[in-house]
Chain A
């Protein structure tokens, strides 16, 4: 693993199903983030974690949950997917918190039908 890895890269999901997007980084960065990106809108922060064991809500947290059991992993869970959660999801990490360069995963394209 080099950098930050997301899985799956693409998924079609029936509404109401539970889904977990995985994110792993090997850079030992303390801060990790989940964003969604929709056409015509900027990246919107879903949840973040400043360090292992802590998480916080971003701009659009409803319908999503995260955990940060260790430094490397930051999974995002949709408990019961809805069509409005169709989006491209990016996981990112930073070694310097708010003012540090973000390193992004390749993205997970999720379609909820």
Chain B
């Protein structure tokens, strides 16, 4: 079967750095997405990785290792508004998105 694993919940302090991990086992791989979802709202796109390495976009960076079936989302200089769920999703060999259950990130002052 296909599986995406993420921690259920993480807590971090305002101004700090946090890394949210995602491991996957899927039938094929055609890219990995990270989405942010604030409580009661729709998911919004953060990043897309298809090649190994680190993609940096402002305070957020996303890393991919295809050989390890592993990705992480790195959030720097945390702000209270970063409190949200972060969803990892993999595009499989049929170009279907397989979603993780999401990681709820709690930011404390």
Q: Give the B-binding residues of A (Cβ under 8 A).
A: 40-45, 58, 90, 97-99, 101-107
* Interface assignment of B91: CB less than 8 Å from any CB of chain A: yes
A42 touching B95, Cβ below 8 Å: no
4 additional A-B residue pairs with CB within 8 Å, beyond A42-B98, A102-B97, A106-B41: A97-B95, A99-B31, A99-B50, A104-B44
Q: How far is the CB of A111 from chain B (nearest CB, A)?
A: 15
Cα distance, A44 to B31, chains bound together (Å): 18
* Interface assignment of B11: CB less than 8 Å from any CB of chain A: no
A98 touching B100, Cβ below 8 Å: no
Count of residues in B whose CB is under 8 Å from the partner chain: 25
Closest 7 CB pairs of A and B: A98-B95, A42-B99, A104-B42, A43-B99, A101-B45, A42-B101, A99-B31
Among A43, A104, A107, the one with the most B-chain Cβ atoms within 10 Å of its Cβ is A43
Query: Could you count the A-B residue pairs with CB atoms below 8 Å apart for me: how many are there?
Result: 52
Known contacts A41-B101, A42-B87; is A107 also within 8 Å of B96 by CB?
no
Chain B positions within 8 Å of A104 at CB level? 42-44
8 contacts between A and B (CB under 8 A): A42-B101, A90-B42, A98-B91, A102-B35, A102-B43, A106-B41, A107-B41, A107-B42
* Interface assignment of B54: CB less than 8 Å from any CB of chain A: no
- Of chain A, the residue at the smallest CB distance from B95 is A98
Chain B positions within 8 Å of A41 at CB level? 101
- Of chain B, the residue at the smallest CB distance from A31 is B95
Q: How far is the CB of B99 from chain A (nearest CB, A)?
A: 3
